Amino acid sequence: MSTHSRHSHSNLDEDPAFALHRGGKLHVQSSVEVNDHEDLALAYTPGVARVCSAIADSPGLVDTYTWKSQVVAVVTDGSAVLGLGDIGPEASLPVMEGKSLLFKQFGGVDSVPIALSCDGVDDIVETVVRMSPSFGGINLEDISAPRCFEIEKRLRERLDIPVFHDDQHGTAIVALAALRNAARVTGRELGDLRAVVSGAGASGLAVTRMLINGGVGDIAVADSKGLIYADREGLNPAKAEIAAISNKAGLQGSIETALAGADVFIGLSAGEVPESVVATMAPNAIICAMANPNPEVHPDVANRYAAVVATGRSDFPNQINNVLAFPGVFRGALDARATDITENMKLAAADALADLVGDDLAPDYIIPSSFDGRVVPAVSAAVAEQARKDGVARA
């Protein structure tokens, strides 16, 4: 039975999710009024021609006299939608609309959801490059690994606007902020920690890279075949790159092997870690089990062994949620008219996010709420300042 026929019921709107989504979650609203012929002559012809001619003569004026510098494209091919997998561009559109809604709600950033029907890396890269003159930034979303790494890399090389893959870098920023504060709660430094990451997809590899750059002592990463190490056969380029900078102890075998005596577990995959394995972790362990809706270690189990527990869910303390990162990161990058989002800008965002907790730090409060009004101003200011320090700001 097709998806259409399964869901073509007349009572769908009895489900509040369907009722909310009817007609979509977005609309375009003008920023100027056109009430008479004089307004029309300025907003459109002939007045608009003077603005177009000025931009043609001085292309930099496009940032001042259009919305380009204030709008982000939210781009997907629907190949790796969270919790749903490869569902295609049309089915992914409600998620992209939701992302745009969060951009506006939390960061005051306008964005356009764009679901592409593309067959491969070359198609996606070329399509985004061709439409890039309309946008001040590109947010890649729900694109499958490993091609998401190549797409981001090539777009960053070819475009002079920020390119950000939120599944990678948004998750990594929030995870680093949470781990900084979790280490403080347990009286340790990041460099003291040995961590284990479950999952070597886009988010798992990006989190690993950022935690290493942020100062975590050592991290072992596991994929479906076990621990990743330098000489393991069959690693794709992204995993091979991570193997070269992680797992200093050279651990091999299963994730259970690595978790024995580990200080930190970070879950970014499906699957369950048995309680007997959790029990082998070091005293005062930190568990960030971020799979949704079922964490790799349920908080009821994790709290028996860990000093700090975080999940990706909103109904438990310490939710590690990308919405804490991407609106502020893009707000800051757009405010600075940045040409790129550098690694230092991501680290600055994580520091700003962690610092908001301040003296209220506690095992059940290592990361601010998504609805904390301080988050976007703090993150955006830190990102914009770092963009200027890194020489990628144009404002």
Catalytic residue ranges: 44, 99
Question: Is 272 assigned to a binding site?
Answer: no
99: Cα within 13 Å, side-chain hemisphere: 30
Question: Is 142 assigned to a binding site?
Answer: yes
Which residue type occupies 187?
Answer: G
Question: Is 167 assigned to a binding site?
Answer: yes
Question: Is 344 assigned to a binding site?
Answer: no
Question: Is 247 assigned to a binding site?
Answer: no
Residue list, annotated binding site: 141-142, 167, 292, 321
Residue list, annotated binding site for (S)-malate: 292, 321
Residue list, annotated binding site for a divalent metal cation: 141-142, 167
